[in-house]
């Protein structure tokens, strides 16, 4: 069922409120590894990443990008993001993140610009699957816990049902597996590189059908894993992977016409 824009805005604002008031944090932190999460009370979107591309102006986006988790906001990168938000500067101002820089390059492969200064791309929405944030002492990547994703899954499904994107781009295997699980599907087994090369899978969230694309994370670790055994450097293999997304979107546009 197609939603009109005003209804999308109402549902999104309710979703943000529900995320901010989620009562599952204690359960997420009942983990012996010691990795602890916290809420970000300064975030008035579903996720800090959504300040880059997201919010109410992006609720008709064709493309939903899903990462794993934002990390800790009490870091140098986090402080830069908050300064930019408070001053009205673009999210990427002063960004030192290789992941962010590589994402800009990858989106160009599908003819979407996400690094254009103050102009935001309303055809794209960014979020992480896990919507709480690592405490500063646990900010280093790794140690991802399935319980976090399980507790956030309902919020992700609601976001998909609001935006109704044509494609969901998943950065990394754990994200892909959880997006598929949220749609009631099992992710394919085997090497994640092989899964990436197979391309997208159709899925349904409520009444909405879309294509889910597994992609490598574009940080250093994800890129190295994607290139392993391929005699490749940089993100060139990932650029080729993203061309499958472009082909699907181009065909989708033709069928819409």
**C-alpha span between 182 and 186 (Å, rounded):** 9
The more confident residue out of 76 and 1 is 76
**pLDDT tops 80 at residue 182:** yes
The more confident residue out of 36 and 255 is 36
**pLDDT tops 60 at residue 212:** yes
- pTM for the model stands at 0.95
Q: Is 199 left (phi over 0), alpha (psi -120 to 50) or beta?
A: left
Domains of the chain: 5-256 (3.40.470.10)
Q: Average pLDDT, whole number, for the chain?
A: 92
pLDDT per residue as tens digits for the range 112-152: 999 976 678 999 999 999 999 999 876 566 678 999 999 99
Q: Which of 49, 217, 26, 213 is closest to 131 using CA atoms?
A: 49
Please provide the DSSP assignment of 180-214 as one string.
HHHTT-PPPPS-HHHHHHH--EEEEETTEEEEEEE
């Amino acid at each position: 069922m197609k939603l009109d824009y005003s209804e999308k805005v109402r549902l999104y604002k309710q979703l943000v409120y529900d995320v901010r008031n989620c009562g599952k944090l204690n359960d997420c932190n009942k983990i012996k590894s010691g990795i602890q999460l916290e809420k970000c009370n300064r975030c008035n979107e579903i996720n800090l990443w959504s300040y880059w591309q997201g919010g109410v102006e992006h609720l008709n986006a064709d493309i939903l990008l899903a990462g794993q988790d934002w990390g800790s906001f009490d870091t140098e990168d986090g402080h830069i993001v908050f300064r930019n938000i408070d001053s009205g500067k673009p999210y990427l101002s002063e960004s030192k993140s290789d992941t962010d820089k590589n994402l800009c390059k990858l989106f160009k492969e599908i003819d979407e610009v996400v690094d254009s200064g103050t102009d935001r791309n309303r055809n794209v929405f960014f979020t992480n699957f896990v919507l709480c944030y690592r405490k500063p002492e646990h900010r280093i990547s790794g140690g991802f816990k399935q319980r976090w994703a399980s507790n956030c899954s309902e919020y992700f499904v609601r976001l998909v049902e609001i935006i109704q994107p044509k494609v969901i781009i998943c950065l990394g295997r754990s994200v892909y597996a959880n997006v598929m699980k949220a749609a009631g599907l099992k992710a394919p087994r085997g090497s994640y590189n092989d899964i990436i090369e197979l391309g997208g899978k159709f899925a349904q969230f409520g009444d909405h059908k879309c294509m889910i694309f597994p992609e490598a994370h574009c940080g250093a670790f994800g890129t190295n894993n994607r290139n392993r055994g391929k005699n490749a450097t940089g993100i060139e293999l990932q650029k080729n992977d993203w061309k499958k997304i472009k082909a699907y979107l181009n065909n989708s546009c033709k069928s819409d016409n």
